[in-house]
Amino acid sequence: MPRRERRTQLLGSALEVFVAQGYHAAAMDDIAERAGVSKPVLYQHFPGKLDLYLALLDSSCDAIIDNCRQALLSTQDNKQRVAAAIDVFFEYVAAESGAFRLVFESDLTNEPAVREHVDRVTTECATLIAEVIRDDTALPDPASRLLAVSLVGMAQVSARFWLTEAGGIDRPDAAALVAGLAWRGIRGYPKADEA
């Protein structure tokens, strides 16, 4: 199998094991077995369990950030932008892979490298959103950033709550409820050319 395909296969197997068992309970033996390879093959691609976990975090974090970027670029209508950005988080936690557990529910968040990866989701998504807020409202950077972090936090926490405790609400309806709340708040800051 070509190296890139093998790496993808190993990451897929590792994701399944880490989601099911958590970082501390997962063993490289389990991952190698799940992938159908020997441990030496696994170690050829990833020198250790933390390296493998960080590679998974990279791809998971990149996916959320890229999806947030695409949501913001998908329209010039800010109400639709808010809805699309909120939905990014709901869609992510609803994915069958369970990858959100690595980012938002890791049992390894005290590890500085893991914390850095996890914080990158909030930081980079908030930066993207803050640019839109600043450009539209002419609010100063610190105010735009605070509002953006608040929107990201709202999206992330509500999506995780919906997944585990808001039974009976379909994903699109749940995302729309939260987007409605967010829009009612953020639209209170008028566009610079309307102020």
Per-residue pLDDT of 52-90, as tens digits, reads 999 999 989 999 999 999 999 999 999 999 999 999 999
> How far is it, in rounded angstroms, from Cα 79 to Cα 82?
5
> How far is it, in rounded angstroms, from Cα 19 to Cα 95?
12
Give backbone dihedrals phi and psi of 85, rounded to 5 degrees, phi first.
Answer: -65, -40
User: Does 115 score more than 80 pLDDT?
Assistant: yes
- pTM for the model: 0.86
Give the type of residue at 136: D
The pLDDT-based confidence of 165 (bands split at 50, 70, 90) is confident
- Residue 110: the pLDDT is 84
> How far is it, in rounded angstroms, from Cα 144 to Cα 130?
5
> How far is it, in rounded angstroms, from Cα 77 to Cα 90?
20
> How far is it, in rounded angstroms, from Cα 186 to Cα 44?
49
Average pLDDT, stretch 10-28?
A: 91
User: Does 103 score more than 90 pLDDT?
Assistant: no
Token pair belonging to 37: 């390879």
> How far is it, in rounded angstroms, from Cα 159 to Cα 155?
6
> How far is it, in rounded angstroms, from Cα 170 to Cα 164?
12
What single DSSP character describes residue 166?
-
> How far is it, in rounded angstroms, from Cα 42 to Cα 55?
13
- Residue 168: the pLDDT is 85
Average pLDDT, stretch 88-99?
A: 90
- Residue 195: the pLDDT is 54
For helices 112-137 and 49-73, the axis angle rounded to 10 degrees is 10
User: Does 49 score more than 60 pLDDT?
Assistant: yes
The pLDDT-based confidence of 181 (bands split at 50, 70, 90) is very high
- Residue 44: the pLDDT is 92
Specify whether the CB–CB gap between 114 and 58 falls below 8 A.
Answer: no
Closest CA to 49 of 19, 20, 29: 29
What single DSSP character describes residue 133?
H
Positive or negative: CA dihedral 146, 67, 166, 101: negative
Token pair belonging to 56: 């998974």
